[in-house]
């Protein structure tokens, strides 16, 4: 179903403000698809949206968090794809999809030999999602805590909580779908341009 009022993946100036993640993927050189020294990928929020199929608040938050965390872990050197282990306090499909795409990690809910796992012990207060990035080579780490209740206002939270389940069950009206879509993009804009204080904390 297409809506003329929403243009995803069309060089949206808003999405461009999220920045670009420059990351080296040596597998591209080994496979011969990139020349030595040219194996740097410039990944945008729109690229991430193509992989996940959409750009919502969770996708955007995951992109921003991953971009910032990796830049902090690799302050004066190229960021390495597949160079980190990731653990997350609770499962969120949109966040997992975005982070695995960006970092090249493999997600598994139980097997600890995968480099992206769930770790409930990371959980902070209710309504938050904690994500920990750790470099495989030197074990340096950074943890990000996303507080959804500081990102969403009451109206946004109500619309998402009431209409999103109806969409999943194919019970939402067109008007409800459009309302949800408008709110989702409102949240995306807020995360990119006016993130509330302490909505995402790094430690």
- The tens-digit pLDDT sequence of the chain (203 residues) is 344 444 445 568 999 999 999 999 988 778 888 888 878 999 999 999 999 999 999 999 999 999 999 999 999 999 999 999 999 999 999 999 999 999 999 997 655 678 999 999 999 999 999 999 999 999 999 999 999 999 999 999 999 999 999 999 999 999 999 999 999 999 999 999 999 999 999 99
For residue 163, tell me if it sits in a domain.
Answer: no
Chain centroid to Cα 54, Å, comes to: 11
Q: Are 56 and 183 in contact (CB under 8 A)?
A: no
pLDDT of residue 80: 96
pLDDT for res 1: 38
The answer to whether residues 28 and 167 touch, using CB atoms and an 8 Å cutoff, is: no
In-domain check, residue 8: no
What is the SS3 assignment for the chain? Answer: CCCCCCCCCCCCHHHHCCCEEEEECHHHHHCCCCCCCCCEEEEEHHHHHHHHCCCCHHHHHHHHHHHHHHHHHCCCCCEECCCEEEEECCCCHHHHHHHHHHHCCCEECCCCCCCEEECHHHCCCCCEEEEEEEECCCCCEEEEEEEHHHHCCHHHHHHHHHHHHHHHCCCCCHHHHHHHHHHHHHHHHHHHHCCCCCCEEEC
Asked if the structure places residue 190 within a domain, the reply is: no
Within-domain flag for 162 = no
**pLDDT value of position 111:** 59
The pLDDT assigned to 114 comes to: 87
From CA 47, how far away is CA 22, in angstroms rounded?
A: 12
Q: Residue 90 sits in which domain range?
A: 37-150+196-202
The number of folded domains in the chain is: 1
Provide the pLDDT for residue 112.
62
Residue 3, pLDDT score: 42
Starting at the earlier edge strand, list the strands of the sheet with 40-44.
40-44, 20-24, 79-80
pLDDT digits (tens, 9 = 90+) for 18-61: 999 999 998 877 888 888 887 899 999 999 999 999 999 999 99
Per the domain annotation, does 1 fall within a domain? no
* Residue 126: both structure tokens together: 């209710």
What pLDDT does 2 receive? 41
Q: Is residue 26 part of a domain?
A: no
């Amino acid at each position: 179903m297409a809506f003329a009022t929403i243009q995803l993946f069309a060089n949206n100036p808003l999405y461009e403000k999220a920045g670009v993640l420059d990351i080296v993927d040596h597998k591209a050189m080994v496979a011969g698809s990139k020349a030595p020294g040219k194996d740097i990928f410039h990944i945008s929020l729109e690229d991430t949206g193509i992989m996940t199929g959409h750009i919502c608040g969770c996708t955007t938050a995951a992109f921003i968090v991953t971009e910032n965390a990796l830049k902090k872990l690799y302050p004066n050197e190229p960021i390495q794809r597949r160079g980190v282990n990731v653990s997350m306090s609770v499962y969120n499909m949109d966040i997992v999809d975005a982070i695995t795409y960006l970092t090249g990690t493999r997600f598994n809910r139980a097997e600890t030999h995968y480099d992206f796992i769930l770790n409930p012990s990371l959980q902070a207060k209710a309504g938050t999602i904690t994500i920990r990035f750790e470099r495989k080579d030197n074990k340096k780490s950074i943890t990000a805590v996303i507080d959804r209740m500081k990102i969403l206002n009451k109206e946004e939270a109500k619309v998402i909580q009431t209409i999103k389940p109806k969409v999943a069950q194919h019970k939402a009206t067109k008007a409800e779908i459009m309302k949800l879509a408008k709110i989702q993009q409102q949240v995306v804009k807020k995360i990119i341009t006016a993130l509330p204080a302490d909505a995402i904390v790094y430690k």
